[in-house]
Each structure stands twice: as structure tokens, then as C-alpha cells.
Amino acid sequence: GAVVSQHPSWVICKSGTSVKIECRSLDFQATTMFWYRQFPKQSLMLMATSNEGSKATYEQGVEKDKFLINHASLTLSTLTVTSAHPEDSSFYICSAIRLAGGVGNEQFFGPGTRLTVL
Amino acid sequence: SQKIEQNSEALNIQEGKTATLTCNYTNYSPAYLQWYRQDPGRGPVFLLLIRENEKEKRKERLKVTFDTTLKQSLFHITASQPADSATYLCALSLSGGGADGLTFGKGTHLIIQP
């Protein structure tokens, strides 16, 4: 199967600090990775689309200067929450599409990262 | 505005019965629709994908239908088991390009009672 990992699985940080979350596709190459955010009892909300070697595309309402995305290789994308505040506390989940998968690709999701900002 | 609605927040079904979950959408013309399972504190796990030109898809005890006229998908779990208890999410993709993010419903929390 296709496995996507995230690190860390949970993180607690102080307000004003930055936090980096890694998303890796372990056994396949991913042309495209996505970052989602999920608040308690809410649906997953797409934050941004990350393509290897190019700038990320952000959804409306998501601040690109606050949520920095880097997709440096076909197996790694990182999300950095800069100057985190308590309202950024959420469950961050990444997903990846397998290279050359064709139309209607299955997205493989990571296990998520629980961010708590104090 | 565009909306995805899943029939209920929670659904209680007796073990062995068929669980039917509903996903309705408005103001979308999705190229395909997907169903995922999510357990507490975990990322979603892909179950089934159905394209706009397909009426029905099956996988083991799972069946998905897709009615683009009604703008509705039904997700069935036959011979349900307590291990099927989880939150089930439907998700839409607007384009057929294959590399776009998904729009998710809030999910239905399914509880299978022994």
C-alpha cells in the first residue's frame, strides 16, 4: 500500500513561536501533496496544494505568510505555522497523490498532527 | 453557495444490519466523489471512489451509489460489525484533473451496536 507519515504526531508550543510539520510519502513518489486542517467535530478543510519544486497554491482565506509550505522533493512536504496563536490549535493532516496516477486519484492521508498553542 | 451535507451527525445501527449513509451536495458538478473512514485522532482512510458517469461501485461489504440528477451519493455497509464504527466522510473533487484537493462533508459518526 501507499503510506504517508507525519511528524510530529502532536506538538505543544507557546504563542508566538513557529512550528514545522513534516509530511512524507514513504513508499511512493508524490507529485502533489495537500494540507488540510480539521477543528473538533468539523470537516477537513483544504488549506493548500503543494507541488514539488513550485510554490504552493493556497485556498481563499488561508494566509500564505503564516502557513509556509515547502515541497522540496517528491517525498517530502513541510508546513510551518509561523507566529502561532491559540486559534491555530487544530489537527493538521496532509495527503499525497501518487505520481502519474491518472484521473480521479486516491489521496493517501497521513495520520495527522495535533497542534496545541498555549 | 456550495454545500455538502451528510445525513446525520450520528447513526446507530444494530450489528448485522445494513448501514446506509447519505451525502447530498448543492451547487457542485463533481467529477467524482469519494468516501473515507476516519477514526478518532487519525487521518482519513480511503474506501471507495465513484466517477460521475458511474452509478454504483462495490468493494466487499461496501457499496456506493452516485446520482448526479439528485446530487446524492449513498454509502452502504452490509452485514455491519462493531469494528465498522467510525466517522465516514464523503468528499468531492470538482475537476477531473486528478490532482486537486478535496472538499469534505462533516461526516457521519456510525455506531454499530452488538
**pLDDT tens for each residue of A59-87:** 999 999 999 999 888 899 999 999 999 99
pLDDT reported for residue B73: 95
A43 contacts on B by Cβ (under 8 Å): 4, 89, 104-107
Round to whole Å and give the CA distance between A41 and B96.
Answer: 29
Question: What residues form DSSP beta bridges with B24?
Answer: B5, B72
Q: How would residue A17 be classed by pLDDT, with cut points 50, 70 and 90?
A: very high
Measured in angstroms, the CA of B51 and the nearest CA of chain A are apart by: 8
Choice between A103 and A112, residue whose per-residue pLDDT is larger: A112
Phi–psi pair at A95, nearest 5 degrees: -140, 160
What ranges in A1-118 are assigned the alpha helix state H?
none
Q: How would residue B98 be classed by pLDDT, with cut points 50, 70 and 90?
A: low
For B25, the grid coordinates are: 451536495
Round to whole Å and give the CA distance between A80 and A91.
Answer: 14
Whether residue A111 lies within 8 A of chain B, CB to CB, comes out as yes
Spatial contact of A111 and A9, defined as CB atoms under 8 Å apart: yes
Q: How would residue B1 be classed by pLDDT, with cut points 50, 70 and 90?
A: low
In this prediction, what percent of chain A has a pLDDT beyond 90?
Answer: 71
B106 contacts on A by Cβ (under 8 Å): 41-43
Average pLDDT over residues B28-53: 90
Average pLDDT over residues A94-115: 80
- Best of A58, A71, A107, A109 to disrupt the B interface by mutation (most B CBs within 10 Å)? A107
Number of C-beta neighbours around residue B79 at 10 A: 12
* CA distances from residue A69 to A51, A110, A115, B3, B45 in whole angstroms, order as listed: 10, 16, 16, 28, 23
Round to whole Å and give the CA distance between A70 and A51.
Answer: 9
pLDDT reported for residue A79: 97
* Contact between B43 and A114 using a beta-carbon 8 Å cutoff: no
Which one-letter amino acid corresponds to residue A18? S
The SS3 assignment for A87 reads: helix
Q: Highest mean pLDDT range out of A51-55, A94-98, B88-92?
A: B88-92
For B98, the grid coordinates are: 486528478
Average pLDDT over residues A101-114: 78
Question: What is the pairing mode between strands B72-77 and B56-59?
Answer: unpaired
pLDDT at A98 over 80: no
Residue of A nearest to B95 (CA): A104
Number of C-beta neighbours around residue B16 at 10 A: 11
Question: How far does chain B reach from its first CA to its final CA, in angstroms?
Answer: 40
pLDDT reported for residue A10: 97
Per the listing, cell 505555522 goes with A81
For residue B84, the 8-state DSSP code is G
pLDDT reported for residue B113: 95
* Contact between A102 and B42 using a beta-carbon 8 Å cutoff: no
pLDDT reported for residue B83: 97
The overall average pLDDT reported for chain B is: 90
Choice between A101 and A73, residue whose per-residue pLDDT is larger: A73
Tally A–B CB contacts below 8 A.
69
In this prediction, what percent of chain B has a pLDDT beyond 90?
Answer: 68
